[in-house]
Amino acid sequence: MISIGIIGAGNFSIKHIEAIRKLPNVQLKAICRRDPLALNQQKKTYGVEGYTDYKQLLEDPAIDAVLIATPHHLHATIAIAAARAGKHILLEKPMAATWQDCLAIQEACVKNNVKLMLGQVGQFTPAFVAARKCLESGNLGAIQMGRATSVSFWKHAERRDWHLTESTGGGYLLTVAIHQLDLLCTLIPSRVQRVYALISNHFHRDEVDDGGIIILKFKDGQQGSLHFSGFQHGVNQVDAELYGTQGMIKISYSQGAYLGKEQKWELLPDSYTENWMADALESEWKEFVRAIELDRLPEVSGKQGLYVMEVLFAALSSSATGKEVALPINLTSISN
């Protein structure tokens, strides 16, 4: 039995709790959040221990692993402390608010021999899993290009103040569009070599971004693009397409994955479920627990997380300088 502690038990963590409670070999042991009233209510609802200080939760020897779902700028401090306490870590995206913090998290986890998995839940959606299986089968031939879109209502009722300031790692790219950047970096079978980006805030007067375009050039010649926007008035659109020499594939987390050949679209088997987010979270937790039990790297490892974050920070650097950025580069002076 794997005992879990949650640090940052806010709104989305409730979905994590629902996923945890479905697994027979996992138990929720404790939660931590700063709001004492909300904490007490959750303690009663779920019958778990509760803390307002994450350090107290980490001192509990009965807890094997933690979910860290705090504001982005707190990820590094808490993750490093968790690693030193010997806790395996499921860390919500983004990995951290600065490149230095990302490196420090990975170093602490390796040094203390704990599993680090990034919460890129999109990789566990039925649509993504089916698309990856199709790509790996060779049915599309050699992948040449990819396009991803992340367009959604940005300042909704649950948007937090820390999402809207640079010092706390806010912005649409770090908060939302990172999912689609991860998709491109994962499914295009090569490494990003060069990045060019135009990132700004078109729709709001906040200090952080709410839209942009990122162009990716891969080592083996593939090209990718990410268009993202946090609108005020519009319709959500989150999807991606990959183009191969023998066909194409369209991926929508909420609608499934479609294979395109000879002017026809075909829904891939098992790529659509009505409760896709709940299914994805359950699969994400299953993978995290399996990695702990089998003593292996999880699918979305710290190393993979570093790769995606390097691309992201390179994009921010490119936008700031107006120049194309080659990878790998020295990002030690770059934050968010």
Residue 55 confidence class, pLDDT cut points 50, 70, 90:
very high
Q: Are 158 and 175 in contact (CB under 8 A)?
A: no
| Residues 181 and 314 placed together within one structural domain of the fold | yes
Straight-line distance from the first to the last Cα atom of the chain, in angstroms, rounded to the nearest whole number: 38
- pLDDT of 336: 38
Domain holding 37: CATH number?
3.40.50.720
Reported as a single tens digit per residue, the pLDDT across 217-231 is: 999 999 999 999 999
Is 139 a domain residue?
A: yes
Is 278 a domain residue?
A: no
| Residues forming a β-bridge with 237 | 151
Q: What is the mean pLDDT of the chain?
A: 95
Reported as a single tens digit per residue, the pLDDT across 194-208 is: 999 999 998 888 899
Is 85 a domain residue?
A: yes
Residue closest to 39 by CA, chosen among 9, 75, 3, 78: 9
| Residues 140 and 253 placed together within one structural domain of the fold | yes
Instruction: Write down the pTM of the prediction.
Output: 0.95
Range of the domain at 215: 123-273+307-326
| Residues 130 and 152 placed together within one structural domain of the fold | yes
Q: Where are the alpha helices (DSSP H) in 160-275?
A: 172, 178-187
Residue type, 15: K
Mean pLDDT across the stretch 303-328?
A: 97
| Residues 129 and 240 placed together within one structural domain of the fold | yes
- Can you read off the two tokens belonging to residue 52? 């307002």
Domain holding 201: CATH number?
3.30.360.10
Residue 321 confidence class, pLDDT cut points 50, 70, 90:
very high
Mean pLDDT across the stretch 109-133?
A: 99
| Residues 69 and 109 placed together within one structural domain of the fold | yes
Residue % of the chain over a pLDDT of 90: 89
Mean pLDDT across the stretch 290-303?
A: 98
Q: How far is CA 193 from CA 113, 272, 281, in A?
A: 30, 33, 31
| Phi-psi category of residue 245: left, alpha or beta, with phi > 0 → left and psi -120 to 50 → alpha | alpha
Is 334 a domain residue?
A: no
| Residues 15 and 101 placed together within one structural domain of the fold | yes
Euclidean distance between CA atoms 122 and 163, whole angstroms = 20
Q: Are 133 and 205 in contact (CB under 8 A)?
A: no
Least confident of 91-100, 202-211, 303-312, 324-333: 324-333
Is 90 a domain residue?
A: yes
| Residues 259 and 290 placed together within one structural domain of the fold | no
Three-class secondary structure of residue 206 per DSSP: coil
| Residues 254 and 152 placed together within one structural domain of the fold | yes
Q: Where are the alpha helices (DSSP H) in 147-255?
A: 172, 178-187
| Number of independent structural domains in the chain | 2
| Residues 114 and 208 placed together within one structural domain of the fold | no
| Residues 147 and 85 placed together within one structural domain of the fold | no
Is 33 a domain residue?
A: yes
Is 331 a domain residue?
A: no
Torsion of CA 64, 67, 72, 73, to 10 degrees: -20
| Residues 151 and 80 placed together within one structural domain of the fold | no
Residue % of the chain over a pLDDT of 70: 98
| Residues 153 and 51 placed together within one structural domain of the fold | no
Euclidean distance between CA atoms 195 and 314, whole angstroms = 7
Is 279 a domain residue?
A: no
Least confident of 65-69, 151-155, 252-256, 298-302: 151-155
